[in-house]
Amino acid sequence: MLRSPCRRLLGASVGPAAALAAALLSSLAGCSLLEPLDSVASVLSPYFGTKTRYEDVNPGLLSGPGAPWRDPELLEGACTPVQLVALIRHGTRYPTAKQIRKLRKLHELLQARRPRDDRAGIAGGRDLGAVLADWPLWYADWMDGQLVEKGRQDMRQLALRLASLFPTLFSRENFGCLQLISSSKHRCVDSSTAFLQGLWQHYHPGLPPPDVEDMECEPPRINDKLMRFFDHCAKFLHEVERNATALYHVEAFKTGPEMQKILKKVAATLQVPVTDLNADLIQVAFFTCSFDLAIKGIKSPWCDVFDIDDAKALEYLNDLKQYWKRGYGYTINSRSSCTLFQNIFQHLDKAVEQTQRSQPVSSPVILQFGHAETLLPLLSLMGYFKDKDPLTAYNYKEQMHRKFRSGHIVPYASNLIFVLYHCENAKTPKEKFRVQLLLNEKVLPLAHSQKTVSLYEDLKNYYKDILQSCHTSEECELAKVNSTSDEL
C-alpha cells in the first residue's frame, strides 16, 4: 500500500500491540482523580440529552474507557481503508456561565427558604432542600463551557481507540499528515489538542507529550465557517436563532401539564413556593445532576430531586429545543450545513483520485472538532433519526419511542466518521471504492439502503442534490419579503 510523504516521527520503533497496551495503561494511570473504573451510574443517565456522557451511549467503556472494541460490521480483508474523515464533538465540559447563574439563583432560593414541617419535603428521612442548600456550589462563572479534565480524557481515549481500529491510517508515518480543523471555541481547540496527545501516547508510550506546536503534525486550524456554519447563515439567524416564535413548541411544553406536574412536585420536595420556580430553574437543577456525574463522577443530591418519569419529560424538553433549532423543525437548520457536507466529500473525492493515480493519499486522516450543533444539522441533512411525525409540545406520549433522542446521538465526544476503502480485487472500477459510516464508533446503516457499506459512487448519487445543488450563499440568503418559515 502506498504511503503518504509525511514527516517521519522521531524515536525508536514500537510494535503496534505493545504501543497500544502501554498507551492505554498510561492513559488510565492518569484517571485517579476522575471516575473510578466501577463508575457511578445514575438511573437518570439515559435522559440527559446533549449533557450525556459518552460512556452512557457506549456502556462497554464504563469498565475500561480505553478498551478497543471493533464493530463486527467493519470491513476488513481485501478492502483497505485509505482515508478517514471524522467530525467530533468536544469532550465533557463545564456548564456555561448562563447555566451557572441560573443554578446560583436556585441555590440562593434554597438557602433563603423557610422549611415547614407540614410540607412533603422529606426524602428518605432527610430534608432534601436543606441538603441542597448546604451542598457546595463549586461552579464559577470563569468555567463558562470550558473543557474539563474528563473531557480531555474523553479525547485521549477516543484517539487511542481509533488508532487501534485503523492502524494503517493512524500509522506513525502518517502522523505528520494529520489534518485537524476546529471551531474557535476553546473547548473544541482543547479537544483537538487532547486528541493529539492521545495519539502521542500511542506512538511514544510512557513519554509525556510535547506542546502541539512541537509535534510533527500541523496544529489545528480554526474554521468557523465549517464548524460553526450556523453563525454564518443569515437566514438561520433571522428565522430561527433570533426569532422569538421559532421555539414555540419548547415554550409551550414548559407551561404544559407534564412540566407543571414536575414544577409542583419539585416545589413540594424542596419546600419552596411554586411561584418562585419555573421550567428553566427545574431544567438547570436536572442538568446539575448530569454535570456532577459527568465532571466529578458523583451522584449528587440534585439527582434525588427527580425520578425517571421526570427525567423523560425533561429529556423531551431538551429534545424539542434541538429538534426545532438544530434538527428537522425548519429546513434551514440542516441546509445550512451543506458546505460542511460538501467539504467531507471533497476530501473523499481527492483520496479516490489520488489512489486511482497510484499516488499516496495526501491527507489519510482529517479530524474536525465542533459541537452538538455541528453534528445534529448534518445528520438531519443526511436523513437520519427522522420520525414520522414532528416533535411538538402536544405529542409527548406519542413520541416516547422516537428516533430523535439527542443524548443517544450527540453525547459529549460524539463522532461521525466516514471511512473510504479501496478494494483491490473488485470486479469493476466502480466497486473498488466503498464507504462506511460510524456514529460513536458503531457502524451506521446507510440511509439509502440500510446496509452497512455502500459503493462510493452510489452514496454520492444518493446525495446528489446536496452535493451539486445546495449552495450555502443561496440557502442562507434572506428573502427580500418576509415569509412564513417552512415548518415541518
Identify the CA nearest to 99 among candidates 318, 319, 411. 318
Cα separation of 435 and 416, whole Å?
A: 13
How far apart CA 327 and CA 324 sit, in angstroms, is 6
Residue 234, all three cell numbers: 443569515
* Amino acid, single-letter form, for residue 202: H
Coil/strand/helix, residue 93? strand
DSSP symbols for 164-216 = HHSTTTT-GGGGGG-EEEE-SSHHHHHHHHHHHHHHHHHHSTTSPP--GGGSS
Strands (E), 92-185: 122-123, 126-127, 179-182
Given phi > 0 = left and psi -120 to 50 = alpha, else beta, which region is 192? alpha
* 90 counts as catalytic: yes
Range list of H helices, 292-358: 308-325, 331-335, 338-356
Q: Tell which residue, 37, 90, 50, 111, has the closest CA to residue 286.
A: 50
Burial of 76 (0-12, 13-18, 19+ CB in 10 A): exposed
Q: Using alpha carbons, select from 267, 235, 258 the residue that is nearest to residue 110.
A: 267
Q: Where are the beta strands (DSSP E) in 44-186?
A: 79-89, 122-123, 126-127, 179-182
> What does the CA dihedral 307, 310, 315, 320 come to, rounded to 10 degrees?
180
Closest CA to 24 of 67, 75, 76, 54: 67
- Contacts of 203 by beta carbon, 8 Å cutoff, 6+ apart: 9, 11, 14, 19, 172, 175
Question: Which one from 90, 204, 249, 422 is the annotated catalytic residue?
Answer: 90
Three-state SS for 273? coil
Task: Read off the amino acid at residue 356.
Answer: Q
Scan for cell 481527492, then name that residue. 350
Residue among 351, 350, 340 at smallest CA distance from 83:
351
Which residue(s) pair with 439 in the sheet? 416, 442
Q: Where are the alpha helices (DSSP H) in 326-447?
A: 331-335, 338-356, 372-381, 406-409
Q: Name the residues annotated as catalytic.
A: 90
